[in-house]
């Protein structure tokens, strides 16, 4: 079962498997590695507040997008089945998706976002994780090739 304290371990697997450092050294490290398929961040229950460790995931994702000119990212927001659908005109998964977009914009790579998708509870993984809903309070950054425009 994935507990809140174990989410940090998921971050370490996701971002530190190949080393990490400041922006320049991270960009250098990323340039010599294969492009990841996806990275994940997690949210506190019923909120758009990111859990500890998310900053490192966003920094590494931004490095990938800066280094590889032909790579874009699809952002996907989710909510767990045990969370409310949302309030104030936006669903929780859509609000989390906005957080993902803001993080990419803040790091100067917002132009590399090729699509945004809010999934609600459509792709919940809790049943496969022993019923732990923490895995479904997530945002996904899915990487893929995009055409490069030459002037």
Q: Is 96 exposed, middle or buried (0-12, 13-18, 19+ CB in 10 A)?
A: buried
User: Alpha helix (H) ranges present in 17-151?
Assistant: 23-31, 54-67, 92-106
CATH superfamily for 4-145 is: OmpA-like domain (3.30.1330.60)
Q: What is the pLDDT along the chain (151 residues), one digit of tens a residue?
A: 344 444 443 443 343 333 444 566 777 778 878 899 999 999 999 999 999 999 999 999 999 999 999 999 999 999 999 998 765 557 999 999 999 999 999 999 999 999 999 998 899 999 999 999 999 999 999 999 987 777 6
Backbone torsions φ then ψ of 73, nearest 5 degrees = -135, 140
Domain ranges for the chain:
4-145
Single pTM value for the model:
0.79
Measured distance CA(67)–CA(32) in Å, rounded: 10
């Amino acid at each position: 079962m994935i507990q809140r304290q174990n989410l940090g371990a998921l971050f370490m697997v996701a971002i530190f498997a190949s080393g990490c450092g400041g922006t320049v050294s991270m960009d250098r490290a990323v340039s010599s590695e294969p492009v990841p398929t996806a990275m994940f961040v997690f949210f506190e229950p019923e909120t758009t507040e990111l859990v500890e460790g998310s900053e490192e995931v966003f920094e590494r994702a931004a490095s990938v997008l800066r280094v590889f000119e032909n790579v874009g990212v699809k952002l996907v927001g989710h909510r767990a089945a045990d969370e409310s659908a949302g309030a104030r005109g936006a669903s929780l998964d859509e609000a989390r998706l906005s957080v993902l977009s803001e993080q990419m914009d803040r790091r100067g790579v917002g132009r590399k976002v090729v699509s945004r998708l809010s999934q609600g509870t459509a792709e919940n993984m809790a049943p496969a994780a022993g019923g732990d809903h923490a895995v479904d309070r997530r945002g996904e950054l899915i990487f893929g090739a995009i055409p490069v425009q030459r002037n």
